Amino acid sequence: MKEEYGGDEGFNQLSLSASNKLRRGWMDFISNFDSQFPYMDDSPILNDAIPGNRRSQSGGWRAAGVIIGVEIAERFAFFGISTNLVSYLTVEMEQSMASAAQNVNLWIGTASLLPLVAASFADSFLGRYLTIILASALYILGLGLLTLSAMLASPSSFQGSGSAASAATGASARPVLHVVLFFSSLYLVAFAQGGHKPCLQAFGCDQFDGEDPQECIAKCSFFNWWYFATTLGSFIALIILSYIQDNLGWCLGFGIPCISSLVALLVFLLGTQTYRFVTIANDEEKPFMRIGRVFFNAARNWRTASSEIDISEEGQDAMLYRRCGQLRFLNKALVAPVDSDDDGKTCNIVEVEEAKGVLRLIPIWIASLSYAIVLSQCSTFFVKQGSTMDRSIRPSFKIPAATIQCFGCIAVVLFVPIYDRLLVPIARIFTLKPSGISMLQRIGVGMFISTLSMVVAALVEVKRLAVAREHGLTQNPNSTIPITIWWLTPQLLLLGVSSVFTMVGLQEFFYDQVSSEVKSVGLALYLSIFGVGNLLSSLLVSVIEEATGGDDGRGGWFANNINKAHLDYFYWLLAGIGKVGLLAYVYFANSYVYKYNVER
């Protein structure tokens, strides 16, 4: 081949020419890309206030509205898979109820923890905008493969002599190809969601400048309407996709979320001209490297006495943080070791306070786990209770037991506008805060309401069991107890209202209290609360089942016959856990110093 171009020299010249053309083409692409999106740099992170001329040309509610619409479609797709996944695993995959529940809990927990990894990568390397696009593409691919696996799961293809045996043992008789394709695509969806959700919300928050008073108020409102959008998307999926999957087939039930994700990506791209891309200098050290260096230097200087640390040299930066006396051991990162002349590796006061800010979030994160454990019951035991109650609306129509989850969604959809447009303005008059009440106060109110919901749930279960005993139905778990399913609505409505306080408050808190370079990671920390909470809830159920002697499904608090079980005891226990978590939360919240108070 080289001889055709004049030997080695001619071939090398041709290769060099092609390489130069490729490089020039790439630089032209980057130049055109920058001219189309003048506010976007290599890393979409905000350091300073946005100039007034840019503020009027980009961002705001116009851009945030597009992003909220994308979130509705994404939640519609995700909940379209998750809400009815147990049914698919037990019916189509022929798994036992225990195996299906374990797989669902593991998948949801993984999906809630993956944002920590994806958001860290986005904030340090790729940026939020490009991460959203890449995650959306993986989302579409995962849902497309999930639809393909449903197409391969033709009932006639798997009928055989092993079906009865597999059903008896709880194992799946499905071919290995179908099982591998299904779970691979399922976890691809979880991975894509891990990159999509925290970055999309952080990108939506970037459309508002926290340094501008009016946009600061709008940003507080954004968190309310964001949660409204997520609930609306899940509500639509619960109503529409559950019916389609049960009655029209899983291919269509998985295919519609795939189409929804594709439309969401197109809408997101069409809105690019309206977005506000906020940047930092490309030569800055990555945020996690800075934070890690603070902890390393503090550990290296652990023998240094506090009296030897002088921050007066830091000038104005020191004055910004002088009021904050928490976590003083990290101040040791400000000095160089005695046996070292290299002052270049020491940290400044801004970097130390950045690391302190991350560390101060941990107690709030831990205390919030009790709320996540309570919230995880909504899609498990509440539904099981509802399946034994009178679900008749008309003599010829019964609502599905899973539909009772809609009451929590309805509470959110109705209460968010009331909270945002009525309660916040009233509270703002007395507190003079843009958000009405502080973020930590809002979280605490929701935790109190969630604990109250468990008390109500326990009392309702006592009533349900009493009616079952009164009519002699304790030995028949498949019979309908003459007590209406509407008895479950108070606890669901309370949980829905509590989520407007706590979940929205946690979103705003973890976004606001981290440095601007790691906003996506802050929201990923919020999501990880519910991932860990879901796993802890599963562990709690396993421990109680073992402790109460119900591991064979015949007795204990979680007996297969729910009319002989003691879910009321479990709800009382959850109320106690919620109370302990609330007390711990109040203690940590009272000692917390807001980043706003420190920096301003």
Q: Is 397 inside a domain boundary?
A: yes
Please give the structure tokens belonging to residue 464.
């349900």
Nearest to 585 by CA among 420, 428, 448: 448
Q: Is 419 inside a domain boundary?
A: yes
What pLDDT was estimated at residue 258?
93
Residue 487 sits in the same domain as residue 455: yes
When pLDDT is cut at 50, 70 and 90, the band that residue 159 belongs to is very low
Nearest to 199 by CA among 260, 139, 286, 270: 139
- Give bridge partners of residue 394 from the DSSP assignment: 397
Residue 500 sits in the same domain as residue 574: yes
Nearest to 574 by CA among 495, 520, 513, 502: 495
Cβ contacts of residue 531 below 8 Å, gap of 6+? 108, 109, 110, 111, 112, 113
Q: Could you tell me what percent of the chain has a pLDDT over 70? A: 76
More confident residue, 407 or 578: 578
Of 356, 383, 411, which residue constitutes the final position of a domain? 356
Looking at the structure of the chain, the number of domains it has is 4
Residue 28 sits in the same domain as residue 105: no
Residue 127 sits in the same domain as residue 201: yes
Residue 292 sits in the same domain as residue 277: no
Q: Is 435 inside a domain boundary?
A: yes
Residue 47 sits in the same domain as residue 29: no
Residue 359 has pLDDT above 90, yes or no: no
Please give the structure tokens belonging to residue 541.
């159920």
What pLDDT was estimated at residue 533?
86
Nearest to 331 by CA among 309, 314, 346, 350: 309
How far the first Cα of the chain sits from its last, in Å, is 68
Q: Which domain holds residue 49?
A: 37-156+166-282
pLDDT in tens, 415-469: 888 888 888 888 888 888 877 888 899 999 999 999 999 999 999 999 998 988 8
Average pLDDT of span 336-362: 72
Residue 307 sits in the same domain as residue 205: no
Whole-prediction pTM value? 0.72
Average pLDDT of span 127-132: 88
Residue 575 sits in the same domain as residue 451: yes
- Looking up residue 194, the CATH number of its domain turns out to be 1.20.1250.20
Residue 322 sits in the same domain as residue 425: no
Tell me how far apart the alpha carbons of residues 179 and 19 are, in angstroms, rounded to a whole number.
Answer: 45
When pLDDT is cut at 50, 70 and 90, the band that residue 378 belongs to is low
What pLDDT was estimated at residue 393?
79
Q: Is 337 inside a domain boundary?
A: yes
More confident residue, 122 or 102: 122
SS3 of 122, please?
helix
pLDDT in tens, 140-154: 999 999 999 888 875
Q: Is 566 inside a domain boundary?
A: yes
Q: Are strands 481-484 and 389-390 parallel, antiparallel or unpaired?
A: parallel
Average pLDDT of span 258-269: 93
Q: Are 511 and 219 spatial neighbours (Cβ–Cβ below 8 Å)?
A: no
More confident residue, 600 or 214: 214
Q: Is 524 inside a domain boundary?
A: yes
pLDDT in tens, 470-522: 888 888 777 888 888 889 889 999 998 998 899 889 988 988 888 777 777 78
Q: Is 308 inside a domain boundary?
A: yes
What pLDDT was estimated at residue 551?
54
Residue 572 sits in the same domain as residue 455: yes
Its sign, for the CA torsion 389, 392, 398, 400, is negative
Q: Is 62 inside a domain boundary?
A: yes
pLDDT in tens, 298-322: 888 777 765 555 555 444 444 444 4
Tell me how far apart the alpha carbons of residues 224 and 90 are, in angstroms, rounded to a whole number.
Answer: 36
Residue 414 sits in the same domain as residue 563: yes
Residue 240 sits in the same domain as residue 347: no
